[in-house]
Every structure is written in C-alpha cells, then in structure tokens.
C-alpha cells in the first residue's frame, strides 16, 4: 500500500511517501524557521502564505524522491488538525484536490496521533498498550494508547505547552527562534543547579502539566539580574531546562506506574531534547519501563509520521469525504 501524506499544521511544509505505512520511501520537510525567527514565534499569516508557495514543490519532491507517480498511490493522508487554521487549510486543499483528480481514498489525520506514529517508524516499534508523552510547540499531553487507533487522554498542560515555554524563555534571553534547540545548546555550558525554578504542583494531584509558572519565574529572574553575563544566560537556560525535564519525567513515570503500563513513548518536537531523552531513559530503566523514542528528525514535525498514521486508518477502512475541513482544535481523545 503506497500512501502520500501531507503535513502543514504549523510552520513546516512536509510531504512523504510510505509503503505499508512503515517504510519511508521519501520524506521532505521545508522549514519556515528563517521566516518566523525575526518575530520570535510563528506568525500565522506568514505561515499560511509560505505553505501556499512551497506545498506543490514539496509534494513533487516527495513523489520524485520515492520514484512514485500520483496514479500509483493507494491513498492520500493529510493533517486535519490540531494546528493553525490557515496552515491546515493549505494542506487540506491540496490533499483534497489530488484525491479528487486522481480518484484516491483520502483520510484526515490528527497531528498528535502522527507524533505518536513516529515511534512506529523505528526498528523498535512499541507494542500496545503504551503511554505516550507528546511534547511539542503546541501540545503537551500524556495519551494511553490502549490498542491500535484507540487512545485515552491521561493528562495535559493547563497552560503553555513545553515547547512554547522553551520558545518564550529563549526570547526572554534574546537567544532566537525556535527556542528549544538554542536553549539546549546554550545550556551545555551552564549549571542546571545554579537556580531553582519552582515546579508546579497540582493541588488535585492530577497528572497534568503546567509551565507558565516556571516561565514567569525565569522572566522575574532575568529582570532582577539584568544585564546578564553569558555565563548567567547559560545557567538560566540549564536550570530552566532541568525544571521542565524534571516535571515531564516525574509526571510521566507516575502516570505509567498508576496505570500499570510498562511501555513509554516520547515524541513531539521537544522530544528532540537530549537531556529530556536521557532523563526519561534513566527513570524508565529505574522503574523497569521500556522507553521508545524516535530519532530527533522524526520527533519534530514531518509528514512521514502523518502518512504512517493515515495508512493504518485507510487500512482500517476509514475514508474522508471531499468536504473534509480543517479542525484547528481537533482532539485525539478525551
């Protein structure tokens, strides 16, 4: 089964072709980082416009790299949500047009399910049931993947997403965009124990996350300590990163022990973070849990993960009508 997948939910325009939903024949990702960098965050209108410019060449490149022609395809998958509406609309319109003209089955994919499916594109895919920590620029949530295509929401952020916190703190420190990779690099020369940023505690003991408190403490600290030396910036980056990692690891391990789930998946853009990968691996080993983490290029937004999820949904008989619409708040589970 050959499927073309299209992803345009945020600021990456991506297309991929997969065989049987697991073999990546091509995966093209056109990043818009340079466009949004001057603003320190994604500017929705600029994102939509850039998607519109590059999406057809990106799809062409994915087909060419895979040596596949549109008539050869068995289906088309597209990210339907969640994400920026203007961005999603571009991918949906292109996917629908191709499906209509070439009479191909179409399926809408949840972007977060896509992130989880990145784990199935490795040599060591997880068996169900497993607990997935999806940490990205727009989302931070724990999903219990009980069986293929069946998810329950275990916990989520009550305010900012973890990636959003990385991006905002990087902006506060004048480091640039996107913040995650820059904070990680800056933190290497810093002391993670230099400053103790307070971790949020849920008074109702829910397995939810909260990152706005840490972000605010960093902001207050920066204001008090300004002007900052390079070493202070590195120490803040390292201490902030350590706080985020600690909260993510603590909540994830706790939830898996409570649910009795033995396997963990770590995915989403923030899962590219080295210290997070290492800390969750150590905690998992300590508690006898198996951890599956896709390589960084599959953790950040790409279309291979969308195509993998879409292929399984097409194989299960799912079909989207040509009236398919973008769902900016699309939920994966409740």
Site for ligand KG4 in 139-168 (CB under 6 A): 163, 166-167
Pick the binder of ligand KG4 from 27, 136, 210, 252 (CB under 6 A). 136
**Which SS3 state, helix, strand or coil, does residue 185 take?**
helix
Distance CA 211, CA 246 (A): 12
Task: Kindly give, in sequence order, each residue whose CB lies less than 8 Å from that of residue 204, ignoring residues fewer than 6 positions away.
Answer: none
Pick the binder of ligand KG4 from 75, 155, 179, 294 (CB under 6 A). 179
Q: Nearest to Zn ion by Cβ — which residue?
A: 136
Minimum Å distance from CB 255 to ligand KG4? Answer: 21
Q: In angstroms, what CA-CA distances link 216 with 168, 169, 173, 197, 234? A: 10, 9, 13, 10, 18
Distance CA 246, CA 228 (A): 25
Distance CA 257, CA 143 (A): 14
- Our finding on whether 121 is near ligand KG4 (CB under 6 A) is no
- Our finding on whether 136 is near Zn ion (CB under 5 A) is yes
- Our finding on whether 173 is near ligand KG4 (CB under 6 A) is no
Instruction: Say if CB 190 and CB 235 are below 8 A apart.
Output: yes
- Our finding on whether 138 is near ligand KG4 (CB under 6 A) is yes
- Our finding on whether 301 is near Zn ion (CB under 5 A) is yes
Q: Taking CB under 5 A as the rule, which mask of x and - marks residues 261-300 in contact with Zn ion?
A: ----------------------------------------
Phi, psi of 267 (to 5 degrees): -150, 175
Minimum Å distance from CB 262 to ligand KG4? Answer: 26
- Our finding on whether 114 is near ligand KG4 (CB under 6 A) is no
Partnered with residue 252 across adjacent β-strands are: none
Distance CA 141, CA 248 (A): 10
Q: Taking CB under 6 A as the rule, which mask of x and - marks residues 61-100 in contact with ligand KG4?
A: ----------------------------------------
Using CB under 6 A as the binding criterion, the count of chain residues that bind ligand KG4 stands at 19
Dihedral over Cα of 129, 108, 167, 210: its sign? negative
Nearest Cα neighbor of 256 from 214, 227, 285, 221 is 285
- Our finding on whether 12 is near Zn ion (CB under 5 A) is no
List interacting residues with Zn ion (CB under 5 A): 136, 301
List interacting residues with ligand KG4 (CB under 6 A): 10, 136-138, 163, 166-167, 178-181, 184, 268-270, 272-273, 300-301
């Amino acid at each position: 089964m050959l499927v073309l997948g299209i992803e345009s939910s945020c600021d990456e325009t991506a297309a991929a072709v997969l065989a049987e939903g697991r073999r990546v024949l091509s995966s093209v990702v056109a990043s818009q980082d340079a466009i949004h960098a001057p603003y320190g965050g994604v500017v929705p209108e600029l994102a939509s416009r850039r998607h519109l410019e590059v999406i057809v060449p990106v799809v062409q490149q994915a087909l060419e790299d895979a040596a596949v022609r549109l008539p050869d395809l068995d289906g088309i998958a597209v990210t339907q949500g969640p994400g920026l509406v203007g961005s999603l609309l571009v991918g949906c319109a292109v996917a629908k047009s191709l499906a209509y003209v070439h009479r191909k089955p179409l399926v809408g994919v949840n972007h977060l399910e896509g992130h989880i499916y990145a784990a199935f594109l490795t040599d060591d895919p997880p068996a169900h049931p497993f607990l997935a920590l999806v940490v990205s620029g727009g989302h931070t949530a724990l999903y219990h993947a009980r069986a293929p295509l069946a998810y329950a929401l275990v916990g989520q952020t009550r305010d900012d997403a973890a990636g959003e916190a990385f991006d905002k703190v990087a902006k506060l420190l004048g480091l640039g965009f996107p913040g995650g990779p820059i904070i990680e690099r800056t933190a290497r020369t810093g002391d993670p124990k230099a400053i103790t940023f307070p971790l949020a505690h849920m008074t109702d003991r829910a397995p939810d996350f909260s990152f706005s408190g840490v972000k605010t403490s960093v902001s207050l600290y920066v204001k008090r300590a300004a002007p900052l030396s390079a070493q202070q910036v590195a120490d803040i980056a390292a201490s902030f990163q350590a706080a985020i990692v600690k909260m993510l690891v603590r909540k994830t391990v706790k939830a898996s022990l409570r649910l009795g789930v033995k396997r963990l998946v770590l995915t989403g853009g923030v899962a590219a973070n080295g210290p997070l990968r290492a800390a969750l691996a150590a905690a998992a080993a300590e508690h006898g849990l198996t951890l599956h983490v896709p390589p960084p290029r599959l953790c950040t937004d790409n279309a291979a993960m969308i195509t993998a999820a879409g292929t399984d949904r097409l194989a299960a008989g799912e079909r989207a009508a040509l009236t398919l619409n973008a769902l900016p708040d699309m939920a994966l589970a409740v």
